[in-house]
Amino acid sequence: MDGAVDTPPRVTPDPARQRAAHQPGAGRSWLRTTWSDLRRQAWAFWFLAPAAIAYTVFLVWPLAQTVQYSFYDWNGITPATPVGLENYVAAVTEPEIRSALFRSLVFVGFYAVLPTALGLLIAGVFARIKVRGMTLFRAMIFVPQILSTVVVAVAWRWIYAEDGPLNALLELVGLGSLTRAWLGDFTTALPAVGLIGTWIMFGLCMVMFVAGVQKIPTDLFEAARLDGAGAVREFFAVTLPALRGEILIAMIFTTTVALRNFDIVWNTTAGGPGDSTKVPSVFIYQAAFQSREVGSAAAIGVLLTLLILVVVGIIGLLLRDRGDS
């Protein structure tokens, strides 16, 4: 009937539940249940305690001390003198440090963008064709990730040497005019070190993307091919969207490594020739352990940490799943 108002159905109390609630000891039973839940949660906290303590001692506390030291003029031995924001102002206004930050962003291209692009290319190829010996191939490509970075740096320093294999190969193929001291040339030192990072990170990105391709339902590829999609269209319509999560993880990890890069740079060029490969981490090392300017080193370290957080945040916003927003 029009205009009638529906009334909610009347809920009849359960007599058995009411009797159980009024029985003697019902409150104690609830307390026992609550106490049991609390004990289980306490056990969970006990299991988490070692990791939380280690995280606090080795990460949170040193980070807090670094922030504290950044407001002092201190050589690590004599009493510290408060200087406020002077270390930060000096770090921001120093042209050499700004140039070092720019070089770190250049390394992002070599350490993150280029390996990700190559990894996606290989993953797109493997999505269309079957390759024998895939396990062995992935293991070989992943080897740079498990090698010591010092070993990698020494090996590539030998490859880039004037009498090294790279120049010998160029001479062999008739390109002797291109030979040079790759790590000693102002124009080639930075990209030469960057390509080492590409070689290291490419295997990680490729393994992640190939694993991601294997979890994509084959029905999607078959549907795309039935619709007449070629290799390029299939890659952008099926493979690339399905690998959004893997791309996000790979970009965050490789970008973080690029911005805090120290060991590869220090063991190949030590920031040279001149300042052509000097990055903020090299400034931090030199200020803290060579010039004994702990406060300045701490300020640069804090700024570098903030830069990493900002860049990683931008990457997360650009690559996040639009369905999550």
DSSP assignments along 235-265, one per residue: IIIIIHHHTHHHHHHHHHHHHHHHHT--HHH
Least confident of 111-125, 129-143, 290-304: 129-143
Assigned token pair, 85: 């924001």
Tell whether 54 and 117 lie within a shared domain. no
Q: Output 9 or 177, whichever has higher pLDDT.
A: 177
Q: Residues with Cβ < 8 Å from 193, sequence gap 6 or more?
A: 107, 183, 264, 265, 268, 269, 277
Average pLDDT over residues 163-179: 91
Model confidence at 33, in pLDDT bands (50, 70, 90)?
low
User: Is residue 166 included in any domain, yes or no?
Assistant: yes
Average pLDDT over residues 116-138: 82
User: Is residue 65 included in any domain, yes or no?
Assistant: no
For the stretch 42-61, what's the b/e string if a residue is b when 16 or more beta carbons lie within 10 angstroms of its beta carbon?
Answer: eeeeeeeeeeeeeeeeeeee
Average pLDDT over residues 177-187: 91
Share of the chain above pLDDT 90, in %: 43
Q: Is the pLDDT of residue 162 over 70?
A: yes
**Through-space distance between the first and last CA atoms of the chain, rounded to whole angstroms:** 44
Looking at residue 107, its amino acid is: F
User: Is residue 11 included in any domain, yes or no?
Assistant: no
pLDDT of residue 46: 82
Burial class (CB in 10 A: 0-12, 13-18, 19+), 2: exposed
Q: Output 298 or 29, whichever has higher pLDDT.
A: 298
Tell whether 214 and 309 lie within a shared domain. yes
Model confidence at 142, in pLDDT bands (50, 70, 90)?
confident
User: Is residue 44 included in any domain, yes or no?
Assistant: yes
Tell whether 46 and 186 lie within a shared domain. no
Tell whether 199 and 163 lie within a shared domain. yes
pLDDT of residue 238: 87
Tell whether 52 and 109 lie within a shared domain. no
Question: For 4, phi and psi rounded to 5 degrees?
Answer: -75, 145
Identify the DSSP state of 75. Answer: -
Average pLDDT over residues 25-29: 50
Q: Is the pLDDT of residue 39 over 80?
A: no
Q: Output 150 or 227, whichever has higher pLDDT.
A: 150
pLDDT of residue 1: 45
Tell whether 112 and 42 lie within a shared domain. no
Share of the chain above pLDDT 70, in %: 87
Task: Select from 5, 38, 58 the last residue of a domain.
Answer: 58
- H or E segment to which residue 63 belongs: helix 61-69
User: Is residue 101 included in any domain, yes or no?
Assistant: yes
Average pLDDT over residues 251-279: 92
- H or E segment to which residue 186 belongs: none
pLDDT of residue 7: 52
Model confidence at 323, in pLDDT bands (50, 70, 90)?
low
Contact call for residues 324 and 280 (beta carbons, < 8 A): no
Tell whether 49 and 183 lie within a shared domain. no
Tell whether 45 and 176 lie within a shared domain. no
User: Is residue 149 included in any domain, yes or no?
Assistant: yes
Q: Is the pLDDT of residue 26 over 50?
A: no
Contact call for residues 91 and 284 (beta carbons, < 8 A): no
Tell whether 215 and 268 lie within a shared domain. yes
Tell whether 90 and 52 lie within a shared domain. no
Tell whether 129 and 201 lie within a shared domain. yes
Question: What is the domain-level CATH number for residue 262?
Answer: 1.10.3720.10
Least confident of 39-43, 94-98, 189-193: 39-43
Question: For 81, phi and psi rounded to 5 degrees?
Answer: -120, 125
How many independent structural domains does the chain possess?
2
Helix/strand/coil percentages in the chain, nearest 5: 75, 0, 25
Measuring CA to CA, how many Å separate 110 from each of 66, 71, 197, 203?
A: 29, 34, 6, 13
User: Is residue 248 included in any domain, yes or no?
Assistant: yes
pLDDT of residue 219: 87
For residue 168, the enclosing domain spans 86-324
Q: How far apart, in whole angstroms, are the C-alpha atoms of residue 120 and residue 275? A: 34
Model confidence at 213, in pLDDT bands (50, 70, 90)?
confident
User: Is residue 21 included in any domain, yes or no?
Assistant: no
Q: How far apart, in whole angstroms, are the C-alpha atoms of residue 320 and residue 325? A: 8
Average pLDDT over residues 207-227: 86
Average pLDDT over residues 82-97: 90
Contact call for residues 294 and 75 (beta carbons, < 8 A): yes
Tell whether 271 and 154 lie within a shared domain. yes
Across the chain, mean pLDDT equals 84
